[in-house]
Amino acid sequence: MTTEVTLPPVPTGWRQRLAAINPWRGIIVGGTIIVIAYLVLVPLLYLGAATFVDDGHLSLDSFRRAFSGPGTVGMFVNSLVFAVGTAIVSLTCATVLAYIVVRTDAPYRSLLAAVAVLPVVVPNVLYIISWILLASPRIGLLNAIPRAITGDPLFDVFSMAGMIWVEGLHNVPLVFLLMAVAFRSMDASLEEAALVAGASHRTMYLRVTLPLLRPALAAAALVVIVKTLGSFEAAAILGSPDGLFVFVSRIFFVMRDFPYDTGAAGALSVALIVIALAGTWLLGRVRGDGSSYQTVTGKAFRAQPIELGRARRWVLLGVAIYFVVTTGLPLFALGFNSLLPFTRAFSLEAIEHFSLANYAALLDMSVVTRSLWNSLLLAVGTATCILVLTVVAAWVILRSRYRWRGMVDHLAFLPINFPGLVIGLAVSFVYLRNPLPFPIYGTLWIMLIAYVTNFLPYGMRYAVSALERIASELEESAEVSGASWWQMIRRVTFPLMVPGLIAGWILVLIVAARELGASILLYSPGNEVLSVLIFQLYEEGQLVVASALGIVLTVLFAAIIAIAYKVGNGVGITR
Amino acid sequence: MLELVDLRKTFVGSTPGLMGRRARGQSTADHAQTLAIDGVSLQVTEGELFTLLGPSGCGKTTTLRSVAGLETPDSGEIRVGDRVVFSRGKGHDRNVPANRRRLGMVFQSYAIWPHMTVFENAAFPLRVLPRGERPSKAQVEERVMRVLTTLELDSMAGRPATKLSGGQQQRLALARALAVQPALMLLDEPLSNLDARLRESLRLELKRLQHELGITSIYVTHDQVEALAISSRIAVMSGGRIMQVGEPRDIYLAPANRFVAEFIGKSNIFDATVRRRASEDTIEVESPIGLLAVRWQSDDLTTGSPCLLAVRPESIGLMGGPPDQGVPNGMPGRVVERSFLGDAVDHIVAVGDRELLVRLPATSQFPAESRVTVTIDPASPTVIAR
């Protein structure tokens, strides 16, 4: 049984020849890698120069200036306590929440997931302000009752405990996402096997579930610790009034005191980067162990949720309390204060003073709409630039056979070790002596550059996992069918990556919209962004206006997320 | 030993993978209800290796997991020995949780705990026994090593469980299930993750072990060859119901209905009509390939009643040349295609406007397009009332 097959003619026209030479691949790949290298390495170079070069020769004097002060030991201890404490708070809350959502039959689980993740859109500085309104000794709403009973405030958010509490809760959504993935990828029959073997639920958790989660927990803990070491808002706002300094807040205040000691700030930054690199290295080691945890996995039967039975109502109650305390109360504090002419302790009598004056004031401030617009522009720009860069970089890392593809991987993930404030510092060093032929300093461009550098690893993670999920056979069959490299990327690879990329785009959009660390060093009048504006309002003592802005932003973000959620069919938020 | 009475279970929201979707906050608009098991009743006697066989989605795994206590049926009763472990809708509701049922189970993915050594994995069920019954350290050591020795894993006791090969992990899962000497062992497709060669050798090993220990076992599989090879009895399931229960030979040679005939082995199946009782032990059946004489099988089949005729390909014979008068059920045919299988040769033979699958020994010589006579031994076809 044979059929005649007519072969297509061998390409001879100039178009086909041009396609065969295919310069696009080289241009696109080369261009992307040059841009990434420029974004990541140049700031490092300038940071190193500012730190190690003094009057034209190498010197370590900057380290002496940075670390010889009286508070140095305290700074190390504070940083450590702050980071570890934050990790404990966020891991505990997030792991329990993720377990309830992923593995049990608790009611309203999809709602729980959404509510657990949504606070991710709230700028950290806003969350801190809401906790000041709740738990400051002077005006905190929560202190109204203890003050009425004992005459003394009970809660003091301006303390290490306050810093850990607020920062820890603010990290819950991030850790929740990590742990939800860990629970989802865990073979449910490992737990079932323990039950059938006769273990009680408690024994199952202690002897099977928790040990199995150890790699994921360790990884999440290190992520939070590295992130907290670089997080400056809580330390600067809640810690510094009491003289509690950590690395980043020290850098911030060094760069604030005139004349700036750029060398000392650089030295602190370099030390911080080294610590973060050590943490990431450790993380890699833990991940390495994680892979050896793999056993034969079958087609897992539909994961049967753990039945809570009589515990159900208590679990629900606990979760409800958690959300009231961590989301409801802060929102209430913002809403309450946004209606008042000045901040005050809670009393029913305050209601008489309610007015919408603060909201009206927002409308009158041109800086509000300006910074809203700037934030939006920067967030969309950052997310889009990162998407383009990471698609190509991910392809190079996973699919190309270039010998240096491993370097691209390291390069693109390197900024995960740079706190936003440090990136802001390094980028400002670069563009004060601008190497580019057009002005950057004092424009939105400098913030875009800092943002793209800062959030490149976030985008990379999504792009890489989106590409990993596409079988390479799909690309190979496109090649065999005669598609050029560019046609293959455009017609096969990219369309298949789109769902994962949308998720990454939304995530970068969110984190860029709430960025403060880099922005605070790089903004100039006229180029404020929202988080900077809120920070300024706080510093000027305009807490009630900041509250009103916070409420407006929360409503706005919630609406945007709801729309994105509907449009993206939920791809973005919970992955 | 094990008795299931009228077990029913409905899943709300149909598809597997529902967990992930739910958690992503998707609407649960399609509350499609699927009957996973629909009135399953079974009796398994002491020492049996009883297999639940069926295609995926037939309810066999749900039935097994209900026995384990990992799934809660909507109604019915489950008795292990003289102990009622589950009952609902029979007046005295009770549901013994999985960890109090004292059963052994081997999961499809083995569920070997990767953070424990081989020894710790197998010792776990003993170490979590209630305090009063928990054996001493030395006893645990002794009992675990004994079961590991039986499964030839004793030399690996100290190794991390992840360092085992697939076949070894499978044996470890078995060792763990056997460690407490359970009254009943449940096996959920235990061989499906292994490659074909290993599967065959472990199949025999499993049967031998089960026979030696005399432990009552429920075995779930979708592989009919596996089921026929190891079971003492088989329940064929489809759509949440039991289609037939019987010994492997009965299931294969006397399928009770069309589903079993089609699912087990290969069959040539025809719609037919009973023509008449030809003699004491034969009836004549009108079929699309002609009038056939068939062994009498049941009083249900009276003249004119519609039936199904199932003929196994290996029970059909071929002869060269046109039909001889003396040959029973001889029909002229033409070989359409043949395919060499190694130990046999499959022939597709056209008879009238139908094609028959005929399996002959490897030595047979009937080239394509040759004219042949098809013969069917009256004793072999199964007649199933419609």
Q: Strand (E) positions, B71-143?
A: 75-80, 83-88, 94-95, 104-106
B138, B33: one domain = yes
Contacts of B107 in chain A (CB under 8 A): 189, 192-193, 298
CB contact under 8 A, A301 and B65: yes
- pLDDT for A379 equals 93
Last residue of a domain, one of B214, B233, B259: B259
Give the pLDDT band of residue A6 (cuts 50, 70, 90): low
CB contact under 8 A, A207 and B124: yes
B219, B306: one domain = no
Contacts of B99 in chain A (CB under 8 A): 194-201, 204
Give the pLDDT band of residue B131 (cuts 50, 70, 90): confident
Best B10, B24, B176 member to test A by mutation, with max A CBs in 10 Å, is B24
Residue A301 pLDDT > 70? no
Q: Pick the residue from chain B with its C-alpha nearest to A191.
A: B111
The domain locations on chain A are 21-56+356-575
CB contact under 8 A, A296 and B110: yes
B201, B350: one domain = no
Contacts of B97 in chain A (CB under 8 A): 195
Residue A44 pLDDT > 60? yes
When mean pLDDT is compared over A277-281, A353-357, A533-537, the highest value belongs to A533-537
B251, B279: one domain = no
The owner of tokens 């290490």 is: A160
Amino acid making up residue A330: P
**Digit-coded pLDDT (tens) for B321-350:** 777 777 778 888 999 999 988 889 999 999
**Digit-coded pLDDT (tens) for A312-322:** 888 889 999 99
Residue B358 pLDDT > 90? yes
What CATH code is carried by the domain that includes residue B319? 2.40.50.100
B98, B204: one domain = yes
B204, B290: one domain = no
Nearest to B109 among A184, A203, A297 (CB): A297
Q: What is the ipTM of this complex?
A: 0.78
Best A1, A104, A192, A295 member to test B by mutation, with max B CBs in 10 Å, is A295
Give the pLDDT band of residue A10 (cuts 50, 70, 90): low
Residues whose CB is less than 8 angstroms from the CB of residue B138 and which lie 6 or more positions away in sequence, other chains included: none
Residue A126 pLDDT > 80? yes
B254, B356: one domain = no
B278, B307: one domain = yes
Residue B169 pLDDT > 80? yes
Task: Specify the number of domains making up chain B.
Answer: 2
The owner of tokens 């950290």 is: A124
CB contact under 8 A, A198 and B110: no
B244, B96: one domain = yes
Last residue of a domain, one of B259, B274, B305: B259
Which superfamily does A21-56+356-575 belong to?
Answer: MetI-like (1.10.3720.10)
- pLDDT for A313 equals 87
Residue A298 pLDDT > 60? no
Contacts of B102 in chain A (CB under 8 A): 198
CA–CA separation, B348 and A457 (whole Å):
61
**Digit-coded pLDDT (tens) for A200-228:** 888 998 999 888 888 888 888 888 888 89
B226, B82: one domain = yes
CA–CA separation, B166 and B146 (whole Å):
21
Give the pLDDT band of residue B26 (cuts 50, 70, 90): very low
Q: Strand (E) positions, B154-267?
A: 184-188, 216-221, 233-238, 241-246
Residues whose CB is less than 8 angstroms from the CB of residue A137 and which lie 6 or more positions away in sequence, other chains included: A143, A153, A155, A156, A158
- The domain of B308 spans 266-385
Average pLDDT in the A371-393 region?
93
Q: Are A43 and A242 in contact (CB under 8 A)?
A: no
Exposure string over B245-259, b if 16+ CB within 10 A, otherwise e: bbebeebbbbbbbbb
B75, B159: one domain = yes
- pLDDT for B92 equals 84
**Digit-coded pLDDT (tens) for B57-97:** 899 999 999 999 888 899 999 999 889 999 998 888 899 98
B250, B278: one domain = no
Range from A558-567, B192-201, B326-335 carrying the lowest mean pLDDT:
A558-567
- pLDDT for B362 equals 87
What CATH code is carried by the domain that includes residue B8? 3.40.50.300
- pLDDT for A375 equals 92
Last residue of a domain, one of B259, B277, B310: B259
Other C-beta atoms lying within 10 Å of the C-beta of residue A540: 10
Strand order across the B83-88 sheet: B33-44, B2-12, B75-80, B83-88, B94-95
